[in-house]
Amino acid sequence: MRMILEPKRRVSLACIVCALFLASAFLTRTSALLASRVGLQVKIKHVTASGDRQLWRVDLHSMGYPADNSQPQQRRSLEKFNAIDFVSESVVAATFLTRENVRDLQRRDDPNRTLPYKLHAIFLDAATGNELKTLEWPIDNPVAGIFPRFDGGFLFLSTDHVALYSENWTPVKDIPLPQLQGSPSPLRGISESPSGKTIVVQFRRGITTLCLKIQTATLDSSENPCEIPELFSASDEGVAAPRSLLGGGSGESRSSGPIVQYDVSMPGDSSDAHGRIQNPEKGSAAQMICNSCVGMPQFVNNDTIVVYTLMQLKVVGRNRNLKLTESLNPLEVWIDELGRPVRSSANGERFVVAFNVSQLRVDAPMDIRMSTGGMPAAFPDHIDAYDLTTEKWIYTLKIRGTHVQKILGLALSPSGEKLAIDSGGVIQAYVLPPRIQSTSPNH
C-alpha cells in the first residue's frame, strides 16, 4: 500500500473513502433503506444511453503541454479553475500551466523580471478539434485560469488582475485585483455561475473572509463579507454551501448539511448595520435551500442545484423540494466531493457527473491518496449526463484506461449536446443525444 500525504484539509475525505471501500455490503443496503424511510423515494429515471461516439481527439503535448502533466496542473488549484471549457457552442478552450526557466535570482519588484509561470490557452473548433487560436499569459502565481461567457468571450483571472476578452480574442477591459495580492495569496475560493454571467471570488483580509462578485459582461464588482467555506457554488443570485462548514474548518467532514444560500451582492438586504452578513441563526437574508440535504452543492441553474456526497447524488429545486436522488455502492463507484465533479450546460438544462472507480474492483495494489488534486476524477470509471427537462440520465461514457487515465477537467457545451474532457493534455470531444425542445429553466 502506497500512501501520499498532502494538505490537511483533504485528510478527512481520504479517511472516508478508505472506510467506505472497506465497509460491508450490509452497511450500504442499510443506508439505502434508511434513506427511503426519510422521504427519498423519488429515483432518477434511467434510460439505456451509452456510447463513445468521439468527435475528435487532440494531444496538446505537441503544443507545449508539459510531459509531467499532473503536478504542474494541480498547482493551478483545479477545484477553482476548469482545465477545459466551452467559450461558445463552436469553440472549446483548453488551458494548462508551464514553469518558465528562470536562472537568475530576480527581485519581485523588478518590472522587467521573468515571471516563473505561464498559462496557455488553446482554442479549438468544437466540431473538428482544429486549432483556432493560442494565447499565453506570464503569471507570478500558478493559480490562474479562464472563465467562459458562452457568447464567445471569456475572462482571464489571476491573483493580479482580471481581463475581459471578446469572441475575437481581443482584450476589452482589464482591472487590477489588489484583494488577491500578497504572500501567501489571500485567494481562497472561486465559483462561476452556470450561465457564465457571474463569478464570485473569495479571499481573506486579515481575519475577515470576503467575497468579490464580478459581472462578466462589464467587470463591475461588489465586495461584501461572506463567512462561508472555500468550496462553494455560485449562481447569479448568490452562493450555496453546507451550513455546518461555516468558518471553513479544514479538518471537518465535507459531507455536511443542510444547504444554505447566501446573498453576496446586496448588503442592504443581507447584512447588519456594520455590513456583515449575519449567520442563519440570527435571521439574516441567508435562506435554506435544502433542509434535509447532506453533501456539496453545485448549481445547474438559478433554480436547481445538485447535492452530492461520496455515495449519493440529489437534484433539488428552488422550492426546496427533492426532485430526484441516486444512491451509489461505494464498493463499486464513488464521487469525489473535493474535485467539482459536476458540470452544467449554460442553458441550465443538463449536467454531467464524473464517477471514480473503487480500487477494490481493479487488479492492482490499493493506492490511497490524501488528495486527488482537485480534479473531477483521479480514478475515473464513467461520466453520466442528465437532462432536467426529461428527468432522465441520457448518456453514459465508460472510461477505458487506455484513453483516459485521469479527468483533469470536463465541460458541457452551452446547449448540452457536446461533452469535452481533459485527460491530462489529451482533449476529447463526444456527442450527446440532441435536446427535446422546451422552455429553458431560469438561469
Query: What are the DSSP calls for 385-418, one per residue?
Result: EEETTTTEEEEEEE--TTT-S-BSEEEE-TTS-E
Model confidence band, residue 176 (pLDDT cutoffs 50, 70, 90): very high
Strand locations in 291-432 (E): 296-301, 304-308, 312-317, 322-327, 333-334, 342-344, 350-357, 367-369, 380-387, 392-398, 409-412, 418-422, 426-431
Q: Which three cell numbers stand for residue 55?
A: 468527435
**pLDDT, tens digit (0-9, with 9 covering 90-100), for 336-369:** 988 899 999 999 999 999 999 987 765 544 444 4
Which residue from 56, 123, 118 is spatially nearest to 87, judged by alpha carbons?
123
| Farthest-apart Cα atoms in the chain, separation | 66
| 244: confidence class by pLDDT, cuts 50, 70, 90 | low
Place 294 in a pLDDT band, splitting at 50, 70 and 90. confident
Tell me the CA distances in angstroms from 19 to 323, 356, 418, one per residue in order: 29, 15, 36
Closest CA to 270 of 208, 318, 205, 222: 222
Least confident of 62-71, 187-196, 197-206, 386-395: 62-71
User: Cα–Cα distance between 309 and 326 in angstroms, integer?
Assistant: 11
Percent of the chain exceeding pLDDT 70 equals: 72
pLDDT band at 273 (very low <50, low <70, confident <90, very high): very low
Task: Write down the domain spans for the chain.
Answer: 2-104+112-431
Measure CA of the first residue to CA of the last residue in the chain; give whole Å.
Answer: 46
Residue predicted with more confidence, 226 or 403: 226
Q: What is 2-104+112-431's CATH number?
A: 2.130.10.10
Residue 284 has pLDDT above 60, yes or no: no
pLDDT over 90 at 282, yes or no? no
Predicted TM-score (pTM) of the model is: 0.82
3-state helix, strand, coil in the chain (%, to 5): 10, 40, 50
pLDDT of residue 79: 86
